[in-house]
C-alpha cells in the first residue's frame, strides 16, 4: 500500500538527541572549511548590517546636527559618510549572495552524500528487512527525510550562529555607546530567553499533535480512496463521511490551538520591542537632557533595538524546522544502523574467487522467517553437475525459500549448504550470485537498450551476445523488436509482452554464463504462445547446465531428471515423474489437486 509519505511517525527519541546532533554534524566535517567560509561571510554580513546604523549615528552627530561647522564642511563630511554607507551596502549585498550560494552548495553536497550513503546502504541490507518495510516508507527516507535535513543545514546552522552573534554584538555595542542604557536593555535578554524557551516547549507539543492528527487524516483518506469501490458497494459512504468529519474537525481544533499559541507569542516579541523603545526614549532622553548621551546615539539605540528583536521572531519557526529535521535524522540514522548483509569470512580479493561448478548440497537445513514458525525442516538433497531438478509443492511448502537460501538472501537457522565443495558462507555473496543465474517471476527492466539490459554488469561485447543469442535461438525475439538490440525498453520505451520479458530474463542469465541456473516458473499468466517461445531456449539450458526449477508446469516437471516434492517444509518424495506417479503418494495427489493452479490467461 502506498503511503506517499503523508503520514509518518514523529521523532521517537529512541536515539538520543545529542547522538543525533553529533552524527549530523559528522556529515559537516568534510565541509568544515567551506562552512567556516560561510560563517566568515555571515560575520561580514552582520558586521555591515550593524555598521549601517552606526554610520548614520555618526553622520547625525558629527555633521547633520553640528551647527558649529560650516555648511560645506558639514556636507563634505556627510558625503564621506554616505560613500562609506554605500560601500558597506555593496559589501553586504555581495557577501549575502555568496553566503546563500555557498550554504546551498554545502547543504546540497551533504545531502547528496547522505542520500547516496543511504541508498547504497539500503541495497546492502538483508532481504529479511525489506519484507517488513513498505517500499514507500523507504523511498520517503531517501527523498523527503533527506530534504528535511537539508533545511536544517542551510537555514538553521549558520543563521542560528549568526543570530546569537548578532545579538551579542548589538548588546556589546549598546553597552559601549552608553553602558547605563545598554545594561538596562540587557534586562530584556533573560525575559526574551524565558519566553522563547517556554514557547518552544509548547510549540513542540502542538507541532507534534498537529502532525499526528494530519497523518491520521491522510491515512484515513488514503485507505478509503483505495477501497472506494467497497465503500460504495457496501453503502458505508455516509458513515465514513462522519468519521472523516470527526478527524478533520480534530485537525482544525489542533491547528486553532497552535494559532492561539503563536498568536500569543509572536506579539509578545513585538511588545518587548515597544517596551524597549519606550525605555530608550524615557531613559535615553533623560540622559540627553543630562548631556550623557547624544541625539545620534539615541537614534542608533533605536535602530539597534529593532535589529536585536528580529532573530527572536524567527526563533520559533526555526525551532520547528529543527524538530522536523531531528525527526527525519532519527529515521535516517535508524535506517543506516540497520545491519548490512553478513559478509563472508573470505575477504574480497584475498584469494582467487573459486569456480563454483560442481555439486550443490543441502544438508540438514532448517529455516524460519519468524522465530517459532519453521518453514523448512531438515532439508537434505544434492544436485549433481549437469542435472535438472524440479521442485514442486503447494503454496507455502517452502519452494521459494530454498532459492532464497541458495542465493544467501537468508541464512539457514541450522544446517549447511555447499556448492562445489565450498560452504556457502565462505563464498563472497556477490560472487555467489554471479555464479547462480536466476530467472524470477518478477522482472527488473532498466530503462535502457535491450543490449544493456541483457549485458548488465558483465561487460560482454556485442559479438559475444549475438553469438549467445543465436546459440540459444533467442535471436528471433530480438529481431522482432523494432531496433533489435538497440531498442530502448522500460518505462517510456518499447513495451514487451510477458513472454518477451521472460525471454529477456533468460537471455540475461545466460549471458552471465552461470554455474547453476535457477528458474522460478511463472505460476500463472503464461499462454501457449509464450510457452512455445520459451521452449527452445529452455531446452538449451537444460542440456548444458545444472538447473533447479520451481515448477508449475507439467511439461517442465516431465522433462526434469528428478523431482523433489516439498510438503510443509519437508522433502516427502524424490524421483522421476513416472516413478512418483506410480507411487500414488503426495506427488500424484498434488498433480491431481494443485496443477490446476496452472491457469490459463
Looking at 22, 32, 112, 467, which residue binds another protein (CB under 8 A)?
Answer: 112
In 3D, which of 522, 379, 380, 383 has the Cα closest to residue 440?
522
Return the DSSP state at 346. S
581 neighbors 595 (Cβ within 8 angstroms): no
Q: Is the dihedral of CA 476, 482, 488, 494 positive or negative?
A: negative
Of the candidate residues 36, 183, 259, 543, the single one contacting another protein (CB under 8 A)? 259
Site residue total, another protein (CB under 8 A): 159
The nearest distance, CB 364 to another protein, in angstroms, is 25
**135 sits near another protein (criterion: CB under 8 A):** yes
Residues 424 to 463 in contact with another protein, rule: CB under 8 A: 430, 433-434, 436, 438, 440, 442-444, 456-457
Among the listed ranges 24-32, 162-170, 267-275, 326-334, the one in contact with another protein (CB under 8 A) is 267-275
Q: Is 591 in the site for another protein (CB under 8 A)?
A: yes
| Number of CB atoms found within 10 A of residue 295's CB | 15
Smallest distance from the beta carbon of 176 to another protein, in angstroms?
Answer: 21
Choosing from 151, 359, 544, 561, the residue that interacts with another protein (CB under 8 A) is: 151
Stretch that binds another protein, among 285-293, 350-358, 359-367, 471-479 (CB under 8 A): 285-293
298-325: b or e for each residue (b if 16 or more CB lie within 10 Å)?
bbbbebbbebbbebbeebbebbbebbbb
Distance CA 238, CA 235 (A): 8
How many residues are listed for the chain in this entry?
601
Q: Binding to another protein by residue 115, rule CB under 8 A?
A: yes
Among residues 502, 376, 485, 392, which one has the least CA distance to residue 438?
Answer: 502
For residue 119, state whether it binds another protein (rule: CB under 8 A).
yes
The CA R_g of the chain, rounded to the nearest whole Å, is 36
Binding of another protein by 235 (CB under 8 A): yes
Binding mask 290-329 for another protein (x = CB under 8 A): -----x--xx--x---x---x--xx-xxx--x--------
Minimum separation from the CB atom of position 243 to another protein (A): 10
414, β-bridge pairs:
366
Closer to another protein by CB, 371 or 414: give it: 371
Q: Which CB sits closer to another protein, 363 or 591?
A: 591
Cα distances (angstroms) measured from residue 426 to each of 346, 364, 422, 443, 481? 6, 18, 7, 29, 42
Greatest CA span in the chain, whole angstroms? 125
Q: Which of residues 465-504 bind another protein (CB under 8 A)?
A: none
Q: Which stretch binds another protein (CB under 8 A): 26-34, 199-207, 260-268, 346-354?
A: 260-268
| Angle separating helix axes 237-279 and 295-337, nearest 10 degrees | 150
Identify which of residues 138 and 165 has a Cβ nearer to another protein in the complex: 138
> Residue 18 or residue 68: which is nearer to another protein going by CB?
68
Q: How far is the CB of 371 from another protein (least distance, A)?
A: 15
Using CB under 8 A as the binding rule, the residues of this chain from 364 to 423 that contact another protein are 394-396, 407, 409
Q: Which of 347, 351, 446, 360 is nearest to 407 (CA)?
A: 360
Binding to another protein, residues 13-72 (CB under 8 A): 52, 56, 59-60, 63-65, 71
Residue 249 found at the interface with another protein (CB under 8 A):
yes
Cβ contact 564:381 at 8 Å: yes
Contact in structure between 538 and 532 (CB atoms under 8 Å): no
Which of the residues 67 through 96 are near another protein (CB under 8 A)? 71, 74-75, 78-79, 81-82, 85-86, 89-90, 92-94, 96
| Between 380 and 495, CB nearer to another protein | 495
| By the rule CB under 8 A, 221 interacts with another protein | yes
| C-alpha to C-alpha distance for 472 and 505, rounded to whole angstroms | 13
CA distances from 497 to 274, 313, 339, 453, 477 (A): 73, 60, 38, 16, 11
Computed from CA positions of residues 493, 499, 502, 507, in that sequence, does the dihedral angle turn out positive or negative? negative
Binding mask 553-582 for another protein (x = CB under 8 A): xx----------------------------
> In angstroms, how far is the first alpha carbon of the chain from the final one?
26
Closer CB to another protein, 436 or 571, in the complex: 436
Amino acid at each position: 500500500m502506498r503511503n506517499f509519505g503523508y503520514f509518518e511517525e514523529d521523532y521517537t527519541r529512541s536515539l538520543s538527541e545529542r547522538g543525533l546532533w553529533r552524527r549530523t554534524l559528522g556529515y559537516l566535517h568534510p565541509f568544515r572549511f567551506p562552512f567556516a567560509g560561510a560563517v566568515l561571510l555571515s560575520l561580514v554580513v552582520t558586521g555591515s548590517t550593524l555598521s549601517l546604523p552606526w554610520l548614520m549615528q555618526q553622520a547625525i552627530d558629527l555633521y547633520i546636527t553640528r551647527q558649529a561647522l560650516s555648511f560645506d564642511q558639514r556636507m563634505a563630511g556627510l558625503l564621506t559618510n554616505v560613500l562609506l554607507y554605500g560601500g558597506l551596502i555593496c559589501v553586504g549585498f555581495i557577501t549575502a549572495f555568496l553566503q546563500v550560494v555557498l550554504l546551498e552548495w554545502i547543504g546540497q553536497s551533504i545531502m547528496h552524500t547522505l542520500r547516496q550513503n543511504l541508498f547504497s546502504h539500503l541495497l546492502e541490507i538483508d532481504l529479511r528487512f525489506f519484507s517488513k518495510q513498505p517500499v514507500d516508507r523507504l523511498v520517503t527516507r531517501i527523498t523527503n527525510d533527506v530534504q528535511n535535513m537539508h533545511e536544517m543545514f542551510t537555514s538553521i546552522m549558520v543563521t542560528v550562529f549568526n543570530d546569537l552573534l548578532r545579538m551579542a554584538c548589538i548588546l556589546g555595542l549598546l553597552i559601549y555607546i552608553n553602558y547605563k542604557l545598554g545594561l538596562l536593555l540587557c534586562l530584556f535578554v533573560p525575559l526574551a530567553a524565558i519566553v522563547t524557551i517556554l514557547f518552544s516547549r509548547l510549540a513542540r507539543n502542538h507541532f507534534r499533535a498537529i502532525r499526528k492528527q494530519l497523518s491520521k487524516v491522510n491515512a484515513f483518506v488514503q485507505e478509503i480512496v483505495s477501497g472506494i469501490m467497497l465503500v460504495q458497494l457496501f453503502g458505508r459512504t455516509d458513515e465514513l463521511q462522519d468519521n472523516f468529519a470527526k478527524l478533520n474537525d480534530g485537525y482544525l481544533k489542533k491547528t486553532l490551538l497552535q494559532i492561539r499559541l503563536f498568536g500569543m507569542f509572536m506579539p509578545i516579541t513585538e511588545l518587548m520591542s515597544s517596551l524597549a523603545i519606550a525605555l530608550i526614549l524615557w531613559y535615553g532622553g533623560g540622559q540627553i537632557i543630562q548631556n550623557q548621551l547624544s541625539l545620534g546615539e539615541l537614534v542608533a539605540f533605536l535602530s539597534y533595538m529593532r535589529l536585536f528583536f528580529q532573530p527572536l521572531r524567527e526563533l520559533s519557526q526555526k525551532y520547528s524546522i529543527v524538530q522536523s529535521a531531528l525527526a527525519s535524522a532519527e529515521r535516517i540514522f535508524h535506517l543506516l544502523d540497520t545491519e548490512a548483509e553478513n559478509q563472508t569470512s573470505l575477504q574480497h580479493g584475498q584469494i582467487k574467487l573459486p569456480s563454483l561448478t560442481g555439486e550443490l548440497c543441502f544438508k540438514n537445513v532448517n529455516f524460519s522467517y519468524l522465530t517459532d514458525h519453521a518453514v523448512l525442516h531438515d532439508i537434505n538433497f544434492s544436485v549433481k553437475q549437469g542435472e535438472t531438478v524440479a521442485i514442486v509443492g503447494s503454496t507455502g511448502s517452502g519452494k521459494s525459500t530454498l532459492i532464497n537460501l541458495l542465493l544467501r538472501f537468508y541464512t539457514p537457522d541450522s544446517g549447511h549448504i555447499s556448492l562445489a565443495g565450498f560452504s556457502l558462507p565462505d563464498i563472497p555473496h556477490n560472487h555467489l550470485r554471479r555464479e547462480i543465474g536466476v530467472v524470477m517471476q518478477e522482472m527488473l527492466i532498466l530503462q535502457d537498450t535491450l543490449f544493456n539490459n541483457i549485458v548488465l554488469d558483465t561487460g560482454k561485447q556485442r559479438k559475444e551476445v549475438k553469438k549467445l543469442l543465436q546459440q540459444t535461438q533467442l535471436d528471433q525475439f530480438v529481431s522482432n523488436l523494432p531496433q533489435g538490440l538497440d531498442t530502448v525498453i522500460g518505462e517510456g520505451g518499447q513495451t514487451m509482452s510477458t513472454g518477451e520479458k521472460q525471454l529477456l530474463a533468460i537471455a540475461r542469465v545466460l549471458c552471465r554464463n552461470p554455474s547453476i541456473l535457477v528458474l522460478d516458473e511463472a505460476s500463472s499468466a503464461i499462454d501457449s504462445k509464450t510457452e512455445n517461445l520459451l521452449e527452445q531456449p529452455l531446452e538449451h539450458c537444460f542440456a548444458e547446465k545444472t538447473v533447479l526449477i520451481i515448477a508449475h508446469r507439467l511439461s517442465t516437471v516431465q522433462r526434469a531428471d528428478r523431482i523433489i516434492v516439498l510438503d510443509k517444509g519437508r522433502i516427502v518424495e524424490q524421483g522421476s515423474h513416472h516413478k512418483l506417479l506410480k507411487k500414488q503418494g503426495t506427488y500424484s495427489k498434488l498433480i491431481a489437486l494443485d496443477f490446476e493452479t496452472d491457469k490459463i490467461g
